[in-house]
Amino acid sequence: ETLRVNPQFRKTAILRADIAKLSGAALLQAAQMKRGEVGHLIGGPPCQPFSKAGYWTSSGDEARRREAQRAEGGFGDGPKEKQKSAKRSRVHDPDRDPRSGLLDEYVRILRSTQPEGFIFENVTSILHPTSRAMFDRFIAACRGVGYAVNYFPLNAANFGVAQKRKRVFVAGLKGKVAPSGPKATNRIEDEPGEDGLPRAVSAGEAIAPFASKAQSEPNEVITGKWAQQLFEVPPGWNYKALSSWAGHPRPVFEAESRYWHFLLKLHPDKPSWTIAASPGPWTGPFHWDNRRLRTAELAGLQGFPVSYEFAGTVRSKRRQIGNAVPPPLAAAVIRLVAAEICGTRQSRAGR
């Protein structure tokens, strides 16, 4: 529905279907193309089976893990061996998540449509040892259907997005030469990179168009259990600012006792942290003015144009925004693969 309400997609064939039940032939028919005529196949399965949040999904497991680590000396200056052992177990197994099978569905569509190139995106934790074997099988399967494949982790803040959002892209081309990753256009302060590049876009710059009170939303006002503590957290900090670790005179929390995003507050002069699709009530990032971010501000932090519309309820819109690939980052990868496809076509024509 979101695609349909945006004019740039009104002439685009849109199929709403379960990809596991959708054939490559149906996709080709909708696109009015034949097998081998497609330029790009672009997609990616839900990230939840591979995300860091998936490591500890059962109720209370995160708290129990942290309690066990503290008891074993796994935090702070505790033995490194114990730190490692405390992190080995994982509640969520991606091999048993039915959504993991969507990797196979992607390869099936790739095989049946035979595009000149493809792009796949997911969270960087798909490279975690728990998911790595599955990821390697996916890469091998893509190569097995005739593609030269490369993968590269990218940070959205390096490509004009006001958000430090790390994702892995897999790109493939028919033939023997795999595409390389795009070059950064922006640098992230305090991180290694190209010194000659302009600095990354800040959160303040990205959400400035939505700052007026006329654009406020009812749910942005903070009330409840941790409201006062959130007000005390400085911009650019999280709950740890109120701990003895940070030198707080009256500590409220113990460092490393909560999720990192707990009471996380944006700094107006720096990029945002990753925007979540379905955050909890005290999961940041929050605005530096001690309120929740507006839907339009979340879209701005993801790099969506101001004119882009989202269909559905407020909750649905926020979920769509949090699940999206930031458009400037996607564009950088697509331009790279498209240029290599064009170069391949010209090479063929010159033979």
Residue for token pair 């995003």: 261
Mean pLDDT of 264-288: 96
* Sequence-distant (≥ 6) Cβ neighbours of residue 349 within 8 angstroms: none
* pLDDT tens string 305-327: 999 999 999 999 999 999 999 99
Q: How confident is the model at residue 57 (pLDDT cuts 50, 70, 90)?
A: very low
Domain membership flag for residue 4: no
> Which of 195, 221, 243 corresponds to the end of one domain?
195
Would you say residue 93 has pLDDT above 80?
Answer: no
Q: How many domains, in total, are found in the chain?
A: 2
221 and 319 assigned to the same domain: yes
My answer on whether 188 and 213 are in the same domain is: no
Q: Does a structural domain hold residue 74?
A: no
Same domain, 100 and 246: no
If asked whether residues 39 and 172 sit together in one domain, one would say yes
Degrees (nearest 5) of the Cα angle 196, 200, 202?
A: 145
Gap between the Cα atoms of 140 and 138, Å rounded: 5
Q: What is the pLDDT of residue 211?
A: 86
As beta bridge partners, residue 282 has: none
The confidence score (pLDDT) of residue 118 equals 96
Residue 159 in domain: yes
For residues 87 and 66, the answer to whether their CB atoms sit within 8 Å is no
Q: How far apart are CA 41 and CA 158, in angstroms?
A: 24
pLDDT, mean over the chain: 86
274: domain CATH number is: 3.90.120
DSSP string, 16-74: -S-GGG--HHHHHHHHT--TT---EEEE---STTTSGGGGS-STTHHHHHHHHHHHHT-
Query: For residues 270 and 211, what is the distance between their CA atoms, to the nearest angstrom?
Result: 17
Reference 51, options 125, 102, 101, 156; nearest CA is 125
pLDDT at residue 62 in the model: 46
Closest by CA to 159, choosing from 338, 333, 340, 341, is 333
Taken as a whole, the chain contains a residue count of 351
Q: Supply the CATH number for residue 139's domain.
A: 3.40.50.150
Q: Are residues 137 and 226 in the same domain?
A: no
Is residue 68 domain-resident? no
Q: Are residues 312 and 186 in the same domain?
A: no
Q: Are residues 99 and 214 in the same domain?
A: no
Angle at 212 between CA 209 and CA 216, to 5 degrees: 105
Strands ordered across the beta sheet of 147-155: 40-43, 117-123, 166-174, 147-155
pLDDT digit string, tens, across residues 125-167: 999 988 899 999 999 999 999 999 999 999 999 999 999 999 9
Say if 292 falls within a structural domain. yes
Q: Could you tell me what percentage of the chain is helix, strand and coil, using 3-state DSSP and rounding each to the nearest 5?
A: 45, 10, 45
Which range of residues forms the domain containing residue 319? 203-323
CB burial of 72-101 (b: ≥16 within 10 Å; e: otherwise) equals: eebbeeeeeebeeebeeebebebeebeebe
215 and 187 within one domain: no
Among residues 163, 195, 227, which one ends one of the domains? 195
Last residue of a domain, one of 140, 167, 195: 195
**64, part of any domain:** no
Tokens 């990809």 correspond to 19
How is residue 193 written in tokens?
A: 């990179």
The answer to whether residues 170 and 298 belong to one domain is: no
| Residue 305 exposed, middle or buried by CB count within 10 Å (0-12, 13-18, 19+) | exposed
Handedness of CA 85, 86, 91, 97 (dihedral sign): negative
209 and 191 in a common domain: no
Burial of 244 per CB tally in 10 Å (0-12, 13-18, 19+) = middle
CB 156 within 8 A of CB 326: yes
Return the C-alpha torsion angle 178, 183, 184, 190, nearest 10: 90
143 lies in the same domain as 286: no
Checking if the pLDDT of 200 tops 50, the result is yes
Catalytic annotation, residues: 47
pLDDT computed for residue 60 by the predictor: 44
Confidence (pTM): 0.84
Q: How confident is the model at residue 175 (pLDDT cuts 50, 70, 90)?
A: confident
Residue 113 lies in a domain: yes
pLDDT in tens, 58-70: 344 444 445 554 4
Assigned domain for 265 exists: yes
Domain identity same for 210 and 189: no
Return the pLDDT at 190: 74
